[in-house]
Structures are given as C-alpha cells and as structure tokens.
Structure 1
Amino acid sequence: MTLLRKSLLALLISGVVATPALAGHHNEAKPAGTIVDVAAGNADFETLVAAVKAAGLVETLSGEGPFTVFAPTDDAFAKLPAGTLEDLLKPENKDKLVAILTYHVVAGKVKAADVVKLDTATTVNGQAADITVEGSTVKVDNATVTATDIAASNGVIHVIDTVILPD
C-alpha cells in the first residue's frame, strides 16, 4: 500500500472528512436504525429520502442488507439541471429514478478502508461506478466523498456531493 493510500486511509478512519452534521454517526457500536432510518433522521438527506419513497425502495433499503450507500445530500440534488428532480419524481419516471438510486447502492458493507482499495464498485443496478483516489480526495464517478462510515443496522453510508448517473 502506498504512503498516499495509507495517509488517506488514516484520514478516512479518523473521521476528519466527516461533515459536522454527521460527525459522531460513524460509531458502529449503536447504529441508529436502517439506512433509511439514518437518512430520514438527517436534514441533509430530505431529497434522497423523498426520492427513495417515490421509487418504492424504502422496504428494500430497510431490509436485511447489508448495503453500502453513496448518499447524495440535498445540495447534491440541487446541482441537477433545473426540472430534472421534479421530472424524476413523477410516477411515469419511476423506472429511471430506480435506476439512478440503485446506482448509488453496492451490495455488502464496504467501509472506507476498503473503498480506497477499489478502482470500481458494481452497483445494485448492475453497472460499475468508477472509484478514484486523488491526493486526499476519494471520488465515486464525478462525486466527491465528503463523509464516510456512517453506521446503519443494515450497512453503511458514505456521503457524496453530487448525484451520480448510470450510463
């Protein structure tokens, strides 16, 4: 393992990259419920939770898992072109919304220490997302990981700053 990756790993494990709103949630001793519960309990994920509900994925993401979710914040959804989110939330676009949301989910529990060792991650929708490490920055496709290892009873959440889109 290179010095850069060891340094990044230490940084990620220490929680230095955690946002203040999520700091302290990376302690695995007492997960705060399922992935859906954790997201619903954080004001930064209101749009994500609404999208998960519109896509009919609440039951799935509340299931046994384990799952790893690269969770876009409300600010990430706000970066989408005007009208995109509103269109995706329409019932007639449910399949497209499901495809996008499942592109943010990886089967299994992939902690930050493991993410930095990967070049790609196969998502639940079947496509692979690219993972790159640039200096102290970890990216999933074009999204920067801003917080890691937020524990849930059925997996782990890594926060990203951009909605990633499948091909």
Structure 2
Amino acid sequence: MTSRIAQFISIFLFVVLFSCQDKEKQNSEVEIFPPEEKKDELREERPMSRSYLLARMRENGELSAFTEQFRKAGLEEEFEGKEGLFTIFAPSNAAYDRIPAKKINSGEESGIEENMKDDLRYYVVEGQLTVDNLLQKIRASENGRYEFRTALGEKLWATQEGDKVVLIDVLGNKAAIVTSKMEKDSGVYHVIDNVLRSGDNAAEGGS
C-alpha cells in the first residue's frame, strides 16, 4: 500500500513538473514587440493619406513638369481633402517639352488660376482604373472605345492600339499610356506620352 502511494506521488510530481516546463516554453515563444516596433506596425496598417499618391508621383523624375503644375495650380490641398481612390493620367516631361511654354503657363501669366486647375482636373478620374481595368472595359464596349468622365466633368475615351492603351480627348488628341504605378490605398497613376486638352481649350487647337 505504501509503495503504491509513493508511486502515485512520484507520477503526480512528474506531471506537475512537465506541465510547468511546457508552460514556460510556450511563454518563451510568444513574440513581444518593443513599444516603438509595435507603433511602427500599427502605423503601416493605417490607410494612406490621399496626398500619398502625389508624393509618389513627385518621386518620379519623368513627371516633374506635371507635379509642378499641380502644385502651382493649388490642387494639392483640394486633392488631399477628397476621399476615395483616384486615377491620374500624367503627361511626361517629354510630352510637355513638345508644347510651347507660353501655352502651358498661359493661365498662370494671366492670373486665372482656375483655368490651370481645370486643365489638370481633366487628367484626374475618381476611382481606380488600372491598365487591366481599361482593357476589360474597352473590349466590353460596342465600338472598342470606353467612355468615362474626368474630375472636370468632361469625357475621355480609352481604346486599344496594338498592345497599348490609348486615350483620346474631346479634340481628338491621342496619348498612349507608357508606364503605370498602383499605390495601395491611394490609387493609380499612368505616365502618358502626350498632353491632352479639354473642351475649354478648343480654341487653342490640338497639341
């Protein structure tokens, strides 16, 4: 009887000891973030500011002319204040180089800032339009042209020429999408190879 009790006590102590060791092992495997690392992790999970897309565009050397016009027109604050995703079709520096400087800066020189804003709003579309989205909509359209409206309220058309997506403005000017970049929680921007014109620029003619 005494040997059985001793055996039972030995088994009980072994189980208790094993359980404590296992618990200590589990606790040692729990990942503990230092306060600063935890803050960084939480910060990365927050949605990006609307101005983040513009900040990324400013880092693109091909778009310095466009982003500078955006800044001069005072559109950055307006853009940041809006909610939702955006698509921007931005002419490259090479595209602006083909346009006389007088035409590009005409709104600024005459003091009509709103004209500059309207010119640039024509390149902005609410919502996220990737190249794949555009191709799908082009192929689903009846005449191979997908029609959509910009933030200016005027129409743009997208069509496919070879392996490229080409935009057509209200005056018939064309601009092909050269490269695209999608930014998480901000939208997408496309670098295009020509300057487009809204209907308000009809008197100036095509580029």
Task: Give distance in 2, aligned partners of 1:99 and 1:77.
Answer: 17
Q: What letter matches 2:56 in structure 1? A: V
CA distance in 1, matches of 2:84, 2:98: 29
The residue matched to 2:156 in structure 1 has which SS?
strand
SS of 1:92's equivalent in the other structure is coil
User: Corresponding residue for 1:84?
Assistant: 103
Q: How many pairs does the alignment contain?
A: 137
Partner of 1:98: 117
Give yes or no for contact 2:121–2:150 (8 Å, CA) kept in 1: yes
In 1, the alpha carbon distance for the partners of 2:160 and 2:124 equals: 19
Q: Percent identity at matched positions? A: 26
TM-score norm. by structure 2 comes to 0.60
More helix by share: 2
Paired with 2:72 and 2:100, the residues of 1 have a C-alpha distance of 19
> 2:54 matched to 1:36?
yes
Show the counterpart of 2:194: 162
Matched with 1:46 is 64
How much is the aligned-residue C-alpha RMSD, in angstroms?
Answer: 2.1
Q: Which residue of 122, 132, 156 maps to 1:129?
A: 156
Q: Is residue 88 of structure 2 the alignment partner of residue 69 of structure 1? A: yes
Could you state the TM-score of these two structures normalised by the residue count of structure 1?
A: 0.73
Please, which runs of 5 or more residues in structure 1 have no aligned partner? 1-30
Which runs of no fewer than 5 residues in structure 2 stay unpaired?
1-47, 139-145, 169-173, 200-207
Tell which structure's C-alpha radius of gyration is larger: 2
Q: CA deviation at 1:128?
A: 0.8
Amino acid corresponding to residue 72 of structure 2 in structure 1: A
Cα 1:40–1:139 change in 2 (3 A) is: same
Greater RCO, 1 or 2 (C-alpha within 8 Å, sep 6+): 1
